[in-house]
Structure 1
Amino acid sequence: MRLSAAVPELPVRDVFRAQLWYHKRLGFQIGWHNHAGRIGAVTLGECILFLRQSARPGGAAWIFAEDVDAVWRDWEARGAAPDGPPRDMPWGLRQFTQADLCGNCLTVHHDLDARE
């Protein structure tokens, strides 16, 4: 049996507004949304995020990147506010964290062993 990548579903207060934020601040493309506006998607490269309307936002997603530093520089230039530059962590990842406009936590990372 073979599985493909999982697609996280992040809770947001307003799907359309969240899609625009992901597009403007992080460079994602707006994938789709349903006519009722309760769920939609954004994509960047092979990364897909579903955004679902919820009264209680605050989810998380871990996003693998080939070059974490390049992603951080791009998001900084777009006016996003990551928690600081990427750091090498004791658990073997280089990572940084970015909160979206609804408080969802995006951790962008790559394995340190993979970069050597």
Structure 2
Amino acid sequence: MRPTTASPAIITPHVAASRDFYVRHLGARLAFDCGWFISLEFGPGLSVQFMEPQADQPTCATTGLTYNFCVADVDATYKELRVSGVTPDAPPEDHPWGDRGFALRDPNGVTLYIYSDREPAPEFRAAYLTGAAQ
């Protein structure tokens, strides 16, 4: 697997407070905000995300850390991991917010979210705040 980017996503019920803190005190720039998920950027290649727990995503932890890895071809990466003996939580699926991805757990129980960008559904396009959607 060769990620093109890697970023932490903190699962928390305090998304709004986290956004305000990082923007006001640490100089982060809001790049995506759909209410329950935000992406903050600090500069090229430096970002952090905050996400409220989602009941419809059973592979998502209720609190803690998820590490996101963007790859060129999520389906090929899924197959490579399966061949190497890794058993992801579920196969890749398309998501309306603009990616296709799957999750797995590392030996420490940290969720790793592997994805490739896709065109977001119309209802998520306005959430991208830094130029054109994907």
- TM-score, with length taken from structure 2: 0.42
